[in-house]
């Protein structure tokens, strides 16, 4: 009897590894592939727009920077978009709206995704090493085992891509998404912080020219409800 229980559990472990682990490997492979495509697109878009802007005003700069295998940056004038790919595969909580869709109900493995995070910083924060400056998550790209995707984001991007795509993700779609992110962050400007938030500064902060909590700078990305207005503005 004990031997049978052991055999049953071994078979269960093998079954789980065969199904779930292989599925997660497929998700990871697709996320890596998607991230690599976005990386190449950022290089192409940077070079393309840079050459066009050079004809208008050379002071407006665009550049691409590789950070590491899981991160890279796209500088667009005064903005810095940082793309970061998480190395793990995630499942949505059962209360998530995705579990109500026919696509997920048909196969729960479709809900497992890799995540590519897109953050927006001020380019000056990196140039002047202002370590306490704030960046904002502007979107999360979710990619599953079938190369289907959706995006969690504020504003038009979140509405446009708010459910799993019908077709697998393509380079053309990723380029459109990249343009959407660039337009989104350029559209919102740096607001003056409240007077009381910056009225005190230490001698050390001024002499060392560091970015302290009282001097930190960030950009409000138009999330704009009265509930979170104060948190976004007190930078």
Give the separation between CA 6 and CA 1, rounded to whole angstroms. Answer: 9
What pLDDT score was predicted for residue 15? 72
DSSP notation for the chain: -HHHHHHHHHHHHHHHIIIIIHHHHHHHHHHHHHHHHHHHHHHHHHHHHHHHHHTT-TTS-EEEEEEETTEEEEEETTEEEEEEEEEEEE---TTSGGGGSHHHHH-GGGG-EEEEEEEEEEHHHHHTT-TT---EEEEEEEE-TTS-EEEEESTHHHHHT-S--SS---HHHHHHHHHHHHHHHHTSPPPPPPGGGSS---HHHHHHT---GGG------S---TTTHHHHH--
- Give the pLDDT score at 31: 97
pLDDT of residue 197: 63
Other beta carbons less than 10 A from residue 73's beta carbon:
19
Q: What is the pLDDT of residue 134?
A: 79
State the pLDDT at residue 193. 61
pLDDT at residue number 234: 32
For the whole model, what pTM was predicted?
0.80
**Mean pLDDT in consecutive groups of 10 residues from the start of the chain, 235 residues:** 69 77 94 97 92 78 92 92 94 88 93 95 85 85 97 90 94 96 83 65 62 54 38 34
Question: What is the reported pLDDT for 154?
Answer: 80
């Amino acid at each position: 009897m004990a031997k049978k229980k052991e055999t049953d559990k071994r078979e269960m472990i093998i079954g789980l590894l065969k199904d779930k682990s292989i599925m997660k490997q497929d998700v990871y492979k697709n996320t890596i592939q998607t991230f690599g495509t976005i990386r190449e697109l950022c290089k192409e878009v940077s070079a393309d727009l840079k050459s066009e802007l050079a004809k208008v005003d050379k002071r407006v700069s665009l550049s691409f920077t590789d950070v590491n295998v899981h991160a890279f940056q796209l500088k667009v004038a005064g903005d810095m978009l940082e793309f970061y790919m998480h190395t793990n595969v995630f499942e949505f909580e059962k209360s998530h709206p995705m579990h109500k869709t026919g696509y997920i109900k048909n196969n729960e493995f479709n809900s497992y995704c890799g995540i590519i995070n897109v953050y927006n910083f001020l380019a000056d924060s990196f140039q002047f090493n202002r370590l306490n400056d704030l960046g904002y998550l502007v979107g999360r790209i979710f990619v599953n085992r079938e190369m289907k995707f959706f995006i969690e984001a504020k504003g038009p991007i979140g509405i446009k891509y708010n459910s799993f795509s019908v077709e697998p993700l393509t380079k053309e779609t990723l380029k459109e998404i990249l343009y959407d992110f660039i337009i989104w962050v350029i559209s919102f400007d740096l607001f003056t912080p409240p007077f009381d938030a910056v009225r005190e500064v230490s001698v050390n902060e001024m002499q060392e020219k560091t970015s302290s909590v009282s001097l930190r700078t960030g950009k409000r990305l138009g999330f704009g409800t009265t509930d979170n207005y104060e948190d976004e503005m007190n930078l």
